[in-house]
Structure 1
Amino acid sequence: MQLALKSNEGITAHLDEDKTFVLLDDDDNGNNAGGKTEEDSLEDDLEKYIHEIAGFSVENAYIDEKKEICEALGKIALSTGVAFQPFLESSFQQVFEMRDFPHKDVRRAALGALGQFCETQHKVWTETNHQALLKLLDMVIPCFVETVRMDREQSIVLVVLKAMNVVIEPCKEEVFRNPSHLKEISNVFRDVLKKKTACQDSSTDEVDDEEQAEFDDFLQFHAEKGILLVTSSVPAETFAPYLNDLLLIVMSNSDQDRDRDRDQDQSHPLILIKHLNASPAETLRMRTQKQLLVRNRKWK
């Protein structure tokens, strides 16, 4: 499976047809003009060839194979736990390489599997595995944050937000052993709530306003849920500088949602989802108020 992820089989390079084919360059008219060695000439030829490549195409069968392998490795790791440990590092490395794969299906599957690898490492808790978990988190968390902020594919950003919550929920304070993670995660949640991520920018895409609003709601739902998970993972006084700012945005969004919901049909799918699931914003509000009361009593 790992060899299939590493393989470039099925990838075809396409040359730019506008490039003019030249049999001999001017540099080739003399004998090693400029004192270039044969190795230097080969490197120059390779660089010219790369510049002439207009793009790549990958056969669908190979895309599906890479996607399914990423999904399978994540599921196998989560299901087998300790038995998968000898293969975890090499599998992680190969899947991690797929995080920037051009096709969104492979990218989405790889990012989801990275979250499952972290969850697996947390399940098989020992002192040695604990260090391995921290190492994984130091690679995965910045990757998740960057993807949420910069990726323009809505479905990928949604998967990564869910995966980040899936990692935070069981790992809790381990995610925040690295002090920078709290700041990075809080800031990316803020960007989602304020609709400042690349996939929430509809100015350059022909996206239906109602469809974009639905997607923004789903993103904000998972961002609010993530904030709630962070509040139960770090001490209140540590999270307070970020939480104050986030709460103001959550409250403002909640007021806007209520105004919009009054104008929507109550049979709308999003309205039904909100009624069937407890709102993270409301839960966050109540839990935060409770934490503040406990903290005030403690300080008194």
Structure 2
Amino acid sequence: MYDPAFETSRLLSANIEKVLLGKPDVVQMLVLSLIAGEHVLLEDVPGVGKTLAAKALAQSIEGSFTRLQFTPDLLPADITGSMIYRTDRHEFEFSPGPVFANVVLADEINRAPPRTQSALLEAMSDARVSVDGKSHPLPSPFIVIATQNPFEFEGTYALPESQLDRFLLRTSVGYPGREMERQVMSTHRTGEPVDQLQPVVNVESVRHAQMAVREVKFDDSLVEYLLDIVESTRQHDAFQVGVSTRGALSFYRGCQARAITESRDYVTPDDIKQLAVAALSHRVLPEGIFQGADRNYVEQQVADLVQQVPVPV
């Protein structure tokens, strides 16, 4: 199953890179999150391609896709669905909400109040939603790609820690280089290239890739290395709260998925080091005087911490 899984990741990456120019690292983050069966948070200033990246991934899969534009007046039922009374049958029937899709784009997730944000929690954690005491499974595969602007922007709400912990990775798109920005202007002259993207894999291929990820070899010494890094976040002077066990497991799965995208069926120390900041920095809570520290500071602390943990030989 390893070779088909790599082929799935390769096809997805190549297709997304047709429209997300000059951002191979972001593309890899999106693809490995998908095949790991986890969710991803894209955080950056408006207009740099966060929504474009999410749409490109969704367009590349022959599955269902919905886009949720988060606003201050969005209600939980607008996400999960609700019970509707059918007059012809004189009974209530569940009407699924837009979260019932293979790929869900939660655009500007931090523009909705916490109560609405939390409507995604059960879906992201258990791939199901509960309405009126009944549980409804979501389609498989299921991935949430959330975008958000930095919390300093007006009209935004910081995501609660419990929800941040459901994202495998938090990453940014960043501004393109001069040459890439010139290409963007050229390719967007006659319309949106992302709308022309055709699916290159189906949901069955994605499910097979997700199964293959779980078979990727993870040497015992590297498991200890990963746990050493996680434990270090819990003992760091700058952090009040370190990485949770859920976060450690998610990090573990992400490393396996990265190995697949790199055409390997085994994890290396480089997989762990390369994913550490994106997988862990949103799962720590700064301590005391460090509270309110910006994202760059926290990420730098995690990066420094990783460099201090001995790599197994």
Alignment TM-score, normalising by the size of structure 2: 0.30
Task: Please tell me whether Structure 1 or Structure 2 has the larger radius of gyration of its CA atoms.
Answer: 1
Higher strand share: 2
Higher helix share: 1
Which structure ranks higher in relative contact order (CA pairs < 8 Å, sequence separation ≥ 6)?
2
